[in-house]
Structure 1
Amino acid sequence: MKYTEEHEWLRVEGDEVVVGITAHAAEQLGDVVFVELPDAGKVVSKDDEVVVIESVKAASDILAPLDGEITEVNEVLVDEPSKVNEDAEGDAWFFKMKIEDMSALDDLMDEAAYKKFIG
């Protein structure tokens, strides 16, 4: 997995990248009560706001980690936003995307670098 400074994780699955937020980010947010997802097919640029997430503490935007197209969203989170707190780095992924340049992943942190970043 790769990580961004915005506390997102990315996992490559075939020719797509699955994106979610880290357990650290979910813990900082507190109980998640609302998730608004983008539409599949939406073309995004790095740092575009693509997901709105609200918790009992704050509202946050999840940014596109790379340029690409949203191919699928995790509709379960719309009805069960608390899943983000239960399994942030597993079943509570936000969206899948096809990215324009897979080598852009090389610029992101690996797990060791992310742990040091949040350390």
Structure 2
Amino acid sequence: MNIPEDLLYTENHEWVQVIDRVAYIGLSEYVQAALGEIVFVEMPELGEKVSKGNEILSIESVKVAQGLISPLSGIITNVNEVLEEEPERINSDALGTFIYSVQISDMKELDSLMSAEQYQKFIDKLD
């Protein structure tokens, strides 16, 4: 399983890539494998204000439907519209497929995210 060093991670198995004050958010390979074939991604609305810890969207796989929790507070600046027609892209390239991005309103919230090393230790405890 690939856990890139240049990303941050959440306990909900999301990856976060920060470019300037914008966070691009996707699913880790760990949770992608656990979910199985993804068949639907409900996207948030552009311009929507989100708060850290609140459910922001839903992902459905052949196994389960799961809510996705926002790891950061801010405003939705982009959604990956390709996933509306091709949600399975997450299965073929979880780390290269962002779901949405957020203009971060509180950069200190990044301190609550895990480094790649911390995330590896976290998932090792789950297995």
Please give the range of the TM-score, normalised by the shorter of the 2 chains: over 0.9
Query: Which position in structure 2 is the counterpart of 1:89?
Result: 95
Distance in 2, matches of 1:102 and 1:112, equals 21
Identity of aligned residues (%): 45
Distance in 1, matches of 2:57 and 2:30, equals 18
Query: Which position in structure 2 is the counterpart of 1:110?
Result: 115
SS in 1 for 2:32: helix
**TM-score normalized with structure 1 length:** 0.96
Matched ranges for 1:1-119 at <5 A: 1-90=7-96, 92-119=97-124
Point out where structure 1 has 5 or more consecutive residues left out of the alignment.
none
**Which letter does structure 1 place at the counterpart of 2:114?**
M
Point out where structure 2 has 5 or more consecutive residues left out of the alignment.
1-6
Query: Shift in Å at residue 102 of structure 1?
Result: 1.3
Query: Shift in Å at residue 103 of structure 1?
Result: 2.3
Query: Shift in Å at residue 19 of structure 1?
Result: 0.5
**TM-score normalized with structure 2 length:** 0.90
**Which letter does structure 2 place at the counterpart of 1:84?**
I
Stretch moving more, 72-81 or 102-111: 102-111
Deviant stretches of 4+, over 2 Å: none
Stretch moving more, 4-13 or 100-109: 100-109
**Which letter does structure 2 place at the counterpart of 1:80?**
E
Distance in 2, matches of 1:94 and 1:31, equals 16
**Which letter does structure 2 place at the counterpart of 1:75?**
E
Distance in 2, matches of 1:73 and 1:45, equals 17
Aligned residues: 118
